[in-house]
Every structure is written in C-alpha cells, then in structure tokens.
Structure 1
Amino acid sequence: MKRHLGKHEFADKVMENRKRFYCIAYSYVKNEQDALDIISEATCKGLLHLKELDKAEHLVTWMTRIIVNTSIDFIRKNSRTAALPEDSKGYPDDADLRNSQAEEPEREALMDLYNAMDILDPEERTCIVLRYFEAYNFREIAEMLKMPESTVKSRTYRALEKMKQHMTGG
C-alpha cells in the first residue's frame, strides 16, 4: 500500500529544504524575486499533485524535478536573460562569499566558475547544478530528469568542457 504524504508533512519537508530549492531556482534565473516566485509555483504544483508521489522518501528528488522544470518554463515564458543587480554575480551564496574571510584569489576563482555557468544552456546547467552543487549521482539525475544516464553524463561532460574553454579563454 502506498503511503501518501499529508499536507503538513509536505509543508515541513519543503521548509526543511527551502534553501536547497531556492539555490536551484536561483541558479536558473539569477533574480531573488523570480526564484521565490518559482519556488512558490513549484510548491503549489507539488501540493496539487501530491498523490502522484510514489514514496514519501522521494519528495526532495520529486520537488527538485518540479523546480527545475518550473525554472525552465519560466525562462522560456520570459525569453530573456535575467538582469543582475550591480553588486551581484548571480548565484545565491555571493553575499556570503563576498563577506567571507576567503582569500581574494579563491573568491575570484569561484566568481569565474559561476560566470562560466552562464554560458550553459538550461539542460547543461541542470546537470551541473544537480551533480556538483546538490551532489546527486548520475543515476539519480537521470531518474529525476527522465532521461538515460548516458545522456546525463554526456551533457555534464559537455558542460564541463564548455566551462573549461570559457575559463581558459580557449
């Protein structure tokens, strides 16, 4: 028998993972308000379709897929690149990074990495974010995105190569 998550359990799980979800949305739109709107819309979608969730323990993976899809839909609907505030390079932990005690070269390297992600198409960025920022393995990403594992691997490696070329100026 399937055990469905209740609305309160769903809300608790979403709150527990709100920073992770926000980071995923923000990595696409690079705008705080848009990321919050995406999280809100994705949460509504998740709540509306909660009975479709096979197992309660898959909620985070399931919601991540909804957030990724909602982010991509948002970008398509708005068909624009999100404008960045003057003091932002575009990723959620920039303020923490600027205020940290990190060495200047380390900070610059991270900013270069984030800027290199801007050249990726949404599918490639999804693979990079899920693999390296959210620490999912290739199999989990493939299940989440409903595509073959080999496709996830090739997109990830292609994205890494694009980023490397961008960062080395080649």
Structure 2
Amino acid sequence: MKPPKNSNECGRKSNRMKTAKKRNRREADGWREGGNGLLEELYNTCRKELTGWCRAMTQDETLTDDLIQEAFLRALIHEKTLEMLQPAQRRAWLYRTVKNLYLDRLRHTAYEKVTEELPENPVEEGLYAEIDCEQMLQILPEEERVLFVLRYFQGYNSAELGKLFSLPAATVRSRLASARRRLQKYWR
C-alpha cells in the first residue's frame, strides 16, 4: 500500500469511510425503528425457538449462529415474499431456510473432504496405468502379446525377436502390426 502523498488524501479516505459507516448505521437504525416491522416481529417471535432447534440439529453453537444470521439475512432479501405469507407460513419459511442452509453446508463440507482425500501421488497413478495396460494386453492372443511386450516394453527389435522365436523378421513385424490394430480397435 502506498503512503499518502499528503494529509488531505488521508482525510478524504477517512471521511468516505465515516460517511459509509453513518449510512450503514442509518439503515440499521431505520430497520430497528420499524422500517421493517414484519422482519422485526419475525425476529422477535422466532429467533429463540429457531436457535434452539438449529443448535439441536447442528450440535455446534458457532454454526448455529451463522445459519440463523444467514436465514434472517435471506428473510430481509425476500421481505416482499414474506409479506404475502401468513404468520405460520413465515415461520415455516424460516425453518426450511435454516434446514436448507445447513444441508448446503453439509454437502459443501462433504465435497471438500472428498476432494482433499483424492490421491495426488504419481506412484498410485502409475499403478493404475499399469493395471490398465495389463488389461489391454489380455485381449491379445498369447503369441502377439509376448512379441508386443518384448518389442515395446523390453526394447527388442524385430530381428532379435525373430532369432528368439525362430521366425522371420517380417513375420514378427506382421504380428506386431496385428497386435497394434487389435489394441487400437479396443481402445476406440
């Protein structure tokens, strides 16, 4: 952060912050003074009961406070909808909102745990690749599989494989081509 160039710059920033704080206080005071009588009534009648129910559900005081605060914030946002509801429906709306917020929190937490537990170890990935490779090789006939493994995994060339198996080098190449075609067909 850059230091202010002069004292006026500091004064302007602090004045803007003071103005914003005053505006927020006025809005909050307007809400407390009856600007939102419906929400105030809902808060006064349901908060304690809702808090007790939520605490029993979550077994966590901090989470309870967060959920109740979020529910009443949503009530503030959806005030027009709540005005159209009967008092019992408003109460049900709050309970449903808290329950849904809690379920969302649980899902999010479960997702975080799963993503944290995913393996990031390349050794495990190599193991999976090895298993995939073994499974793919199982579709080849025995002769082609042996030639394929020796050629592509052990590094023998077709002439050396021909000598090992008493086959012409051209036959070895033909069988390797056949093996590659089978694997390509399987892979697609």
Range class of TM-score, shorter chain: 0.3 to 0.5
- More helix as a share of residues: 2
Structure label with greater radius of gyration: 2
TM-score (norm: length of structure 1) = 0.40
Q: Which has the higher contact order (CA 8 A, sep 6+)?
A: 1
